[in-house]
A and B are shown apart, each in its own frame.
Chain A
């Protein structure tokens, strides 16, 4: 069955460093991917997305890379700040029935040390 997983459940970085969060997916038919950030006590919030016809997309301080050959997704955060501390989830979009569903990974907890 489909699965979206993360290589590391926790990541600790120093403030100002770059962070890289990885994600593996198993469904080669997935055509759209999203990264979410979840702070304590809140619902997940959209960070950045990428479609399967792209291999890189940049936002403000964040970059998502997609490698369809090895079914791997990564989120890079530049100059990580304490406010970036959160759990990060990747999600893949999978067609089902007449619509599509988002399947989430288990999440990576990012801790930024001052």
Chain B
């Protein structure tokens, strides 16, 4: 089975801190994605990557950056956390184009 693992289930950070959310997949997938999920807004795409060191902005990239140094790992970085970044963050990966994406369990981040 495909496994997408996010490093933390729950995280509390202070405003202004630099925050790293890590995601690892074990199936050699090409594509990886970061979404945030908020009540009533569904899943919104922050960034995605289709190859090592490649990245594309999603629909809401402001305040975030990403890193993909290795194929299996895709990191989401909040350069200076703010309270409006309190959310559930979901990582996903997919093998090829037009294929299903597999999701991790999510990281619930609270910025205080």
Please give the residue numbers on chain A whose beta carbons come within 8 Å of chain B beta carbons, in ascending order: 9, 31-32, 34, 36, 41-46, 49, 51, 89, 91, 93, 96-107
Contacts and interface: CB of A to CB of B under 8 A. Distances in A.
Contact of B31 (A36, A46, A99, A104): A99
Given A45-B103, A46-B102, A51-B98, A101 B58 contact: yes
Contacts of A46: 100-102
Contact of A104 (B42, B104, B105): B42
B48 to A, nearest CB: 5
B2 to A, nearest CB: 10
Given A89-B42, A106-B42, A100 B105 contact: no
A93 B100 CA distance: 10
Interface in B1-43: 4, 31, 33, 35, 40-43
Contacts of B59: 103
Given A43-B105, A46-B100, A46-B102, A101 B48 contact: yes
Given A104-B42, A105-B42, A43 B100 contact: no
A34 B42 CA distance: 15
Contact of A100 (B40, B98, B102): B98
Contacts of A49: 100
A9 B41 CA distance: 11
Nearest to B30: A99
B112 to A, nearest CB: 22
A43 B90 contact: yes
A43 B42 contact: no
A101 B42 contact: no
Nearest to A104: B43
Contacts of B43: 44, 89, 91, 104
Contacts of B56: 96-99, 101
Contacts of B33: 101-102
Contacts of A9: 40
A9 B31 CA distance: 30
